[in-house]
Structure 1
Amino acid sequence: MYKITPDNLTRIQLSIERIKNNTEDYDLDSVPIIIADVEHAQIISPENKVLERAYLTSFGAVKGNIIYDNSIFHLIVLNFEYIKMFDLNNEELDGVLSHELGHIFNKYKFEKVPTYLDLIGGKASIEDIEKIKKNNRNNNEFYADHFSKITRNSEGLIRCINKFIKSEIFDNEDLFTLRIAALNSDQIYRGEVHRAHL
């Protein structure tokens, strides 16, 4: 895995500054955030076993409500292996980072998924549950992507997605095709700021 080298750290800092400069509606300093690489975004046991690892299938991910040094943060994880493999330029990195920030600053309010009791009580079917889960998953990505539009970084994000779609490691064509369509549409996906909390 690729660690946050001084050069990569500088790239991240400059990317955040560019994203900040592209929005007047959101105070990106108002929510506590830690940015880490994949290798360090994991919890290790005293026996050096990985107990929990950030789940990544693309360039980045977000985990909410991480406790560090007696404070609560959102954790943005960047996959520098992929960033290097796909040779992301600054605009594309801005697209990735603005998308991850979108999970925090333009959060989708998930629809409640029916429970097992709803299922056995006849209030919902397996199909209902699967449909809601799929809608939640898609909307979660659409809302995060929309933040890249708000911060004028959607072109870089679209280029990233297209690079990923053309690769051998890509395996989720339906969702990524829908994401590009949503980014190219006039549809507005406005969510809420996800505050870190106990």
Structure 2
Amino acid sequence: MAEIDTSGGGGHGKGGKVRGKKMSTRVDMTPMVDLGFLLITFFMLATTMSKPTSMTLNVPHKEKDEKQKQAEPLKASKVLTIFMGKNNDAYVLDGVAADDEKAPEALAKVGYGSELRDAILKAKQRVNAAFPLEEDGSEPFVAVIKPTPVSNYKNLVDVLDEMAITKTKRYAMVDNLTDSEKKLLGDKITP
């Protein structure tokens, strides 16, 4: 509580002049500290803490038996290959293998975001219209994501976001490039 200190000499000495008592005040800060802690507690409980965000990644189911299911190689006409190059550029190869003679003309540079999304949707529509559903009922369209040494982590996250946005269920991440892909991309993937 606030206390008033009344100690100190008054004006009862010689001289006949009566002075008022000198009073000093001392404020007790205990209630203010209590109020501060109550406010901190209130704001901690009333605010929403930031929730960690994570990305969902579709992974294949494990085979129950020891033998791996033999899969036939993918046809290039069912595949959209996405190469992540330097300077935040992406290159797509739609329906053509890298060792095909048409590959240099088919290789297209796209930006991340709406350009890449449009390329994925166009390729998905082309493949799904041309080929029947797979035996397990899944779409025939497959996207192959190929990061390069000059791409960065943000580029990979952007491509995976586009896979989620376009609802592409079948995609693969391959971290090595074939010799024909290296030759096709040339200086686009060199540091």
Structure-2-length-normalised TM-score? 0.25
More helix by share: 1
Structure-1-length-normalised TM-score? 0.24
- Higher-Rg member (1/2): 2
